[in-house]
Chain A
Amino acid sequence: MDEALVIAAHGSHLNAESSTPTYDHADTIRATGAFAEVRESFWKEEPSFREALRTVDADEVYLVPLFISEGYFTEQVIPREFRLDDWDPELWDSDGTSATHATLSAADTGQTVHYCGPAGTHDAMSDVIVQRAESVTGDPDVGEGFGLAVVGHGTERNENSAKAIQYHADRIRERGRFDEVQSLFMDEDPKVDDVADYFESDDVVVVPLFIADGFHTQEDIPEDMGLTDDYRTGYDVPTTVEGHDIWYAGAVGTEPLMADVVLERAADAGADVSAAIAQVREETGGAKPATGD
């Protein structure tokens, strides 16, 4: 029976580039031929979450949210808009970062939907963060002498938002590859504004855990960290801030290896995509085994 992958992402009414990582990762996965169809869908763009399933021919769908954390979108908006009527957050039995999948039926199309946890909380995401650090420094062995800051939005409304950031920071710290690893936030303590205060290392890689580059990753965070007074004038990578060289990576979701995380989510939900995973890891530079795990 044909199977489809549907990626659910936020999109934007204002920023044309918001959907770009979603398209890119979908294209990478499409090229593996692992699914009969790969479909992008968006909260703010088209096809909307409400109508994506009817554009897919397959009876069986792996639905992967391209979101960073569990919370409002993964627990309320996506199940509601995709009409997964029997959805209950209990089905994921998650502590905030441990959701895997739940199998449901879509009310309007009758398709079987394997509703997966968000890409951002999958263990493989830790590898993407590290890969992002490699990409921005141009050093495949980056780590020694370097600190790593994993940056999240942070919000008092949803504790899972911070949990996802801390989860990956902890995992990467345990590997011992970087001298220091710290989670920082825009809207709660510890704040990214004070990045220099949290590191002893001379060099610090800053990786924002966002799916797309936009207002926060391109304007707020660079200005907050003191990389530039005005984002429009740009900044160097690295830029020296209070004696530290800050290697600012931009949104982690733009890293090509992110396509692997989407596939891993579908694999955990039962999709037979091991060959595609191997291919994508090879093509996107994530082929080598993660160290320290």
Chain B
Amino acid sequence: MDGEYVDALVATAPDGIAFDDLHVTHGSDGYTFRTPDVDRSGIDEETLRTVAASPYARNWYFWHATAPQKADRWAFLRWLEGAQQRDVAERYDALADGIAATWGELHLTVSRSDGERTYGVRHRADADVGTSALDTYDDPLDAREIAKHDDDGDYRPLKTAPSLRTGWAFPELSASEFVTTVDAFYPATIANWHREREGDLDVTHWRETVDRQTGIYGVVRTWDRGDGHEHVNWVAEACCDDSQCLKRREWQYDDETDLDVDGGSGAFPCREPCSLVIAGARKWTKLEGEQSRTYEFELTPSEKEQLEDIIDAVADGEAEDIREADIYEGANRYRARFLRAKLFDDEGNLGGVETE
């Protein structure tokens, strides 16, 4: 390895190297090698080889021969080790201790030992857990299986739902394995994050997305009725909140019309309504086509509040967390069963009133 990066540096010198405070050239008077610590010119190849045994040359070699060269993957790795904020000397000091960052629910690490960068991925909740206490993996594609189910074993149809399973680690990955792993957990997030940084994110707004729907989803195109985009606010509030998805919604109603609800605070941008949002909107398009009616039945104030509690608990995914005997909670199962026993008739009608 030592010889390899020096060989590469010597071979590339005639083209000129200017990267991360390393400058190397080759002219008629010999080689020039310059870093913040060393400034040599007019040297021969043998001397160049000696001075090239430097973190600056190793760093140049890593970024041009080892790291994935696709622009977004490269930029992501640079972001992780803070290449824009730290010069090479600072970075190599930091890498000796390890540098960490958060990506959604992922805890990402990079460290350097024996001259090589090593990357790690685990759940952010396991950041301080000893690796021996976690299930360890070395194949990036195992992330696809880990991402499939949450800690309760339930299927996660949305990869960016904040329900990533814990208890696993990819402790020792190469640079390219690392980006593959991150991309398996959160597909396309690196690509879209990079596009956004470059001012190149192609956002497709709601109106344009629903206009191209066909088949069973074609009905979503008729969504605009009455209150126009207010309906879309409800969709975004239902689906695109931080509590449901770690992407930050960048799409709006259309080019001119922003939605009123907050898009969330995720690190990676959401550039158009996803398939879950469209599937939900299809259902709501049908439901919202109904006219409201007046039903009359009686509730005590506490019963009305209990219904509100139940809807809140289900909407926030908290129903299962309510303790079995906690009858002080409106959404407690016994409370709900009592309400059903009292208010439902044999056909399941609330207050004995038919739905019609």
Contacts and interface: CB of A to CB of B under 8 A. Distances in A.
Name the residue among A44, A48, A55, A80 with the largest chain B CB count within 10 angstroms.
Answer: A55
B209 to A, nearest CB: 9
A46 B187 contact: yes
A77 B272 contact: no
Interface in B1-59: none
A43 B275 contact: yes
Contacts of B301: none
Contact of A14 (B70, B148, B155, B274): B155
B89 interface: no
Contact of A77 (B141, B183, B190, B215): B215
Contacts of B191: 51, 54-55
B276 interface: yes
A14 B158 CA distance: 10
A13 B276 CA distance: 7
Interface residues of B, number: 30
A55 B183 contact: yes
B70 A44 contact: no
Given A13-B275, A13-B276, A51 B70 contact: no
B157 interface: yes
Interface string A195-216: 0000000000000000000000
B214 A76 contact: yes
A72 B218 CA distance: 13
Interface majority SS (helix, strand, loop, mixed), chain B: loop
A46 to B, nearest CB: 4
Contacts of B212: 80
Contacts of A54: 188, 191-192, 195
A13 B272 CA distance: 18
A72 B275 contact: no
Contact of B141 (A27, A45, A51): A27
A16 B276 CA distance: 15
A43 B214 CA distance: 13
B202 interface: yes
Contacts of B73: 57
A12 B137 CA distance: 26
A40 B144 CA distance: 11
A233 to B, nearest CB: 22
Given A43-B275, A48-B274, A72-B215, A13 B157 contact: yes
Nearest to B276: A13
A16 B158 CA distance: 11
A50 B272 contact: yes
A94 interface: no
A28 to B, nearest CB: 12
Contacts of B70: 57
Nearest to A157: B215
Interface in B247-294: 271-272, 274-276, 279
Interface string B180-191: 000100011011
Given A54-B191, A55-B188, A57-B70, A44 B157 contact: yes
Interface residues of A, number: 24
Interface string A33-73: 00000000001111110111011010000000000000010
B276 A51 contact: no
Name the residue among A14, A27, A47, A108 with the largest chain B CB count within 10 angstroms.
Answer: A47
A32 interface: no
A43 B217 CA distance: 12
Contacts of B144: 23
Nearest to A76: B214
A155 interface: no
A178 to B, nearest CB: 36
A15 interface: yes
Which 7 residue pairs are nearest across A and B when measured between Cβ atoms?
Answer: A47-B187, A51-B188, A16-B155, A13-B157, A46-B187, A54-B191, A57-B70
8 contacts: A13-B279, A23-B141, A43-B275, A44-B157, A44-B275, A45-B157, A47-B187, A50-B272
Interface of B: 68-70, 73, 141, 144, 148-149, 155, 157-160, 183, 187-188, 190-192, 195, 202, 212, 214-215, 271-272, 274-276, 279
Given A13-B157, A57-B68, 20 more contacts: A12-B157, A14-B155, A15-B155, A16-B149, A16-B155, A44-B157, A44-B275, A45-B159, A47-B187, A47-B188, A51-B191, A51-B192, A54-B191, A54-B195, A55-B187, A55-B191, A57-B69, A57-B70, A72-B215, A80-B212
Interface of A: 12-16, 23, 27, 43-48, 50-52, 54-55, 57, 72, 76-77, 80, 108
